[in-house]
Structure 1
């Protein structure tokens, strides 16, 4: 796996993944998310992939899944994350709480590579809520 990061202008950089996908990053947060914001997004996306996949395999009728990620950073430089909380909002028809709980737990404890990597240095926590689809 590889990535290339190229300076565009100011504090804006373009990252190109090994599979050819581009994403902008902005140290000033004027035109794109900062690298640290994208770390949070990566944790939320990685975990969400797991949760949705596990729920689909359990034949749950999921119509939406949102992961709200909150991070706390150290006051000193480098301002690393000290705590990250992922809250999953799963929407669907008659989605069973036991399946959502299991999906979130499996993602946190076994499958999410990003969260597993971060938990070596960051206090990670997870929660979920279920909303009934119309």
Structure 2
């Protein structure tokens, strides 16, 4: 990975393509959005694998970020993120607490921030 400064922020030069990053949403993704996206999508990918291994493949997983709490007094630090998973498919709801536990345990992004950001995870099945 490589990042270079531009007029409005930075451009990330990544294997898949370029990523525009800026503190101004008009010019790119804001850093906190990328952080929250990493938490959400990492969790969703792990959840998908866990559901497959438990023989309950999801037809769809939607992830809503219900809440982001930032602390203005500490450089707008992200303190809390609430991720809500909407899982569609033939899912045994009684097994979902175990799915959630395994998802949290195996998501590298959640594990990386667990001691500094409160991560709340909820779910519903359809």
User: How does the TM-score come out when normalised to structure 2?
Assistant: 0.88
| Closer, same or farther: CA 101–74 of 1 in aligned 2, 3 Å | same
Which consecutive unaligned segments of at least 5 residues does structure 1 have? none
Is it true that 1:82 corresponds to 2:86 in the alignment?
Answer: no
| Worse overlay, 36-45 or 57-66 | 57-66
Q: How far off its partner does 1:8 sit?
A: 3.1
Please list, as runs of the form range in 1=range in 2, the aligned pairs for 1:1-134 lying within 5 A after superposition: 3-11=1-9, 13-17=10-14, 20-22=15-17, 23-69=19-65, 70-92=67-89, 94-108=90-104, 110-131=105-126
Structure 1: how far apart are the matches of 2:56 and 2:20? 35
Is the CA contact (8 Å cut-off) linking 2:8 and 2:27 kept in structure 1? no
- The one-character-per-residue Cα deviations of 1:61-101 (angstroms, maximum 9, x if unpaired) are 41110111231100214111111111111011x21113332
Which consecutive unaligned segments of at least 5 residues does structure 2 have? none
Report how many aligned residue pairs link the two structures: 124
Is the CA contact (8 Å cut-off) linking 2:61 and 2:87 kept in structure 1? yes
Alpha carbon RMSD of aligned pairs, Å? Answer: 1.5
Is the CA contact (8 Å cut-off) linking 2:46 and 2:106 kept in structure 1? yes
Structure 2: how far apart are the matches of 1:77 and 1:28? 19
Structure 1: how far apart are the matches of 2:94 and 2:12? 39
Is the CA contact (8 Å cut-off) linking 1:55 and 1:99 kept in structure 2? no
